[in-house]
Structure 1
Amino acid sequence: MDILEVKNLEVILKKNNKEIIKNISFSIGKNSCVGILGESGSGKSVTCKSILNILNDNFRVNGEIIFNGKNLIDCTEKEMKNIRGKQICMILQNPMTSFDPLFTIQNQMVETFLEHLDISSKEALDLAKESLEKMRMKEIDAVLKKYPHELSGGMLQRVMIAIAIALKPKLIIADEPTTAIDSLNQKDIIEEFKILKNEIAVSILFVTHDLGILSYLADKLIVMQNGKIVESGTTAEIINNHNHEHTNFLIETRRTLMKKFKEVADWTLNEGENKIYE
């Protein structure tokens, strides 16, 4: 059974009637991960914002976004407030801008839980600690007392995922969550998403331009270009039996990049060994 079904979605810029998203359709099953792959400007983020009904008045949205039997496009702001955060969580690409710099991590986590859950302040604090433990964070009491600028991008991203874990949403939308963090933290963050999917039984819509991430994490792939879905299927189908030239371009670009990376890594290693024996 699908947790989300997007049908004939169109997003139009009102001032010039330009189609930003052009009649796209896809679905996400329970406890599955669907990846949206595409370059900057392909429409990935606009699609995510449409699902959460957070596009501003400059846009007109047509079609259907069915979540739990409701068309989110027709929901009032009050109805959407009951859905955002609690039933659908969004994890953004730049965690530093997602937190208020004037308040500690503890304050922001506790306030979020009090807003969405029927619990006391003490229970909210306990939940904050418990969710950070699940993210395998160390020195949790110290982390809770820190302000956002005192934590790295990777740690802030873990805090965002910890909040999502605690709220137990049915769907997590991750909009390029590894873009602003270093490669070592990227690997750890991807592992956390894998744990989310496998152990907490949450559905994930993962948006990125990185095919390597999606090949590891996603069950199905959607390839977007210029606001359209140009190809979709299982991850294995898209990687091994793709048909569209843009999909081929993205895959070959990834392979070329990895080949070049391996060449540089091998050269660096060999140079290091040569210096040892000089």
Structure 2
Amino acid sequence: MTEHRRHKQQVRKAFDRAADSYDRAAAVQREVCHRLAALAAGTLPSGPVSRILDAGCGTGFGLDLVARSHPAVHLVALDFAPAMLARLRQHRPAGEISPLCADLEALPLAAGSIDAVWSSLALQWCDPALALGQLADALRPGGVAWIATLGPATLWELREAFARVDAASHVIGFHAPSAWIAAAENVGLTLIARDLDPAYALAPDLRGLLRDIKAIGAHSVGEQRRRKPLGRAAWRTLEAAYETHRRPDGLLPATYDLILLALRKPETSHD
């Protein structure tokens, strides 16, 4: 099994396990969806919009925002984790959407069949060239992709604090904005808008922050090896290191290095 395939299986298992707890802990994810919706409102596709793909829909919060802005469209709700789609079906009547369990790097969609793509906090688990190439192929000429993904400074506080404990990789390294923009241009997509302001998870203590990260499924993705539980001394070291980031309002932050992009497929493609 290749390392990339092993990583994808790890992602699927992590988010399958998190399906039941995701909505209770996904405050940052909801904030990101609202920010992406604001970006999307000013970067509409050319021509009529009848079919929108939510690429990495999770439990469906983004779908609600898309449906509110585009009430007459047909929504395709795609996710890699079957348990996430199962949660989605529990809260939406049959016929409202078309659920699709598939990999963003291998979309089972006809070329040019999608008017717009919405993808909030899913593409960071993918290879930029592979995933954006698939989205570009699915988009029709004039279509737009609205993307929220994460950059390399995500959870930097946690990475810094864990460095005081051991040399293991506890936080995944994500791609920089320049890598996403270059990958988009290489597959024929044009950048029409971007926003690089970070978002923050907040909690009164480190246990609360880590509990929320675990609840949304991202806690084990990107680890280089299975870790033993931290001992008391290591936990005290971790807490003390993280305490240096406490804000004036008394809360501890976890940074999400947010990358928002609006990408358009040209009306006339040049193959």
TM-score clears 0.5: no
Output the TM-score relative to the length of structure 1.
Answer: 0.30
TM-score (norm: length of structure 2) = 0.30
Larger radius of gyration: 1
Whose helix proportion is higher, 1 or 2? 1
